[in-house]
Amino acid sequence: MKASAGRVLMLLENCSYQFDSRPKREARTLVRAGYRVSVICPLPPGGKLYEVMDDVHLYQFPAPPAANGFLGYLWEYGYSMVVTFVISLVVSLREGFDVIHAHNPPDTFFLIAAFYKLLGKRFVFDHHDLAPEMYYARFRDRGNCLVYQTLVLLERLSCRLADCVIATNESYKAVEMERGRVPPERITVVRNGPDLDRLQPVESDLALRQRANTIVGYVGKMGPQDGVDYLLRALYHLIYDLDRRDVLCIILGQGDMLLELKALAKGLRLEKYVWFTGWIPDEDLIRYLSMADVCVDPDPSNPFNDRSTMLKMMEYMALGKPIVAFDLPEHRVTAQDGAVYARPNDELDFAAHIAALMDDPGRRQEMGQIGRERVETELAWPYQEKHLLKVYKALTAGLPGRQSVLLGKSSL
């Protein structure tokens, strides 16, 4: 298919294209709108260095070993930036691009974008995560102040160099305006809307259902900032302090804390009550979540989580599931009455809210309906992609053969 709207090069380092839902949705949206989209990203298991998927051209490079500590991250990001830049030269010569669209983390892609802006390319900074706050969240406030300030500087440079900054919510937009000093007219909020075609409830697994009367579901990464340790301690309170033992918690996903979390579950005597599935195919993930009576988001309160929108919350809502979460500002913006909110970081209160929903199937059904309707009427990806396409219409309007439109004067 020959694109007529423009050519886009997406840069992705944190995850392979196939496993990162936001870049995948954005790329598909742009392809449907007539753009030619190329993506440079890490090579997934079994992938090819070059392949076409969903009409998106993927240039994939072998990822470095998983980083551990400051020097490890320095090597990972340095290697990735050099490889990405070399591949971008290949893409530029082979098919060209008009817009370079960088997904963070890391916040170092501006170094590549700066080179191409000298050649007249436009730069979009897609701000997924607050890297400075994530740094402290991952190291549980034991991080180095100099590293934090460096991350703030990299974020500011990315924001200031960008022709347009895409924020995932209003909290991120506020940070970009205050810390990044970006004028509001250069920021567009494009939330992480879930894909309703993918997230449809399916029939339960009867054999698994027989293991417990109540199924609690969690899906997501398992890093230090994700709070799965809080969930395990809440389950300990639920089972041993509140004496609610007819329960099974299915923990779907993987992450760099998986082994530590399994050891914690064993130490808390939770082996019979917790099932770590590891990575599983998407169809199994949806099948297990469809079985859940209650879904949980244990992200603890900290400067990163308080400002971030969690995709798992919207996936739970899309499947019509009631949610228990800590009372964080963006959780309430997302779920509203589709969730109940425990006192921040209070694991016993979290357990008490799970127990209350276990005893109230009517309320669980009502909350699930509220969440599903909110996704269907406000949050799903079709409502978000319109904002993305507005950004690109303004960015590419000044390309040869198109009427010039100044981004700063558009109605973004």
pLDDT (tens digit per residue) in 213-253: 999 999 998 999 999 999 999 999 999 999 999 999 999 99
Confidence band for 209, pLDDT divided at 50, 70 and 90: confident
Q: What is the pLDDT of residues 320-339, one digit of tens each?
A: 999 999 999 999 999 999 99
pLDDT at 70: 65
Buried-state track 226-249, b at ≥16 Cβ within 10 A, e below 16 = bbbbbbbbbbbbbbeeeebeebbb
Domains 6-193+380-409 and 206-379 share a fold: yes
Instruction: Look over the chain and give the mean of its residue pLDDT values, rounded to a whole number.
Output: 91
Which of 344, 352, 347, 310 has its CA nearest to residue 328? 344
Name the percent of the chain in helix, strand, coil, to the closest 5: 45, 15, 35
- Domain spans of the chain, in order of start: 6-193+380-409, 206-379
Quick: pLDDT tens for 60-103: 999 887 666 667 777 888 899 999 999 999 999 999 999 999 99
**What topology does CATH give the domain 6-193+380-409?**
Rossmann fold (3.40.50)
Which tens digits make up the pLDDT trace of 248-293? 999 999 988 999 999 999 999 999 999 999 888 888 899 999 999 9
Q: Can you give the three-state secondary structure of 274-336, one letter per residue?
A: EEEEECCCHHHHHHHHHHCCEEEECCCCCCCHHHCCCHHHHHHHHCCCCEEEECCHHHHHHHH
Q: Which CATH class is domain 206-379?
A: alpha beta
pLDDT at 399: 63
53 pLDDT more than 90 = yes
- Cα dihedral across residues 399, 405, 407, 410: positive or negative: negative
Q: Distance of CA 399 to CAs 2, 7, 161, 390, Å? A: 17, 10, 19, 15
Show the 3-state SS of 180-197.
Answer: CCCCHHHEEECCCCCCCC
Q: What is the pLDDT of residue 406?
A: 35
What DSSP state is assigned to residue 375?
A: I
Distance from the Cα of residue 104 to its chain's centroid? 10
DSSP letter, residue 5 = S
pLDDT tens per residue, range 107-124: 999 999 999 999 999 999
Q: How far apart are CA 317 and CA 315, in angstroms?
A: 5
| Each residue's pLDDT tens digit, 174-192 | 999 999 999 999 999 999 9
Q: What is the pTM of this model?
A: 0.89
Chain mean position to CA 73: 20
CA neighbor of 269 nearest in space, from 225, 230, 237:
237
Of all residues in the chain, the percent with pLDDT exceeding 90 is 77
Cα Rg, the chain, nearest whole Å? 22
Q: Cβ(247)–Cβ(216) under 8 Å? A: yes
Which amino acid, residue 45?
P
What are the structure tokens assigned to 87, written together?
């591949």
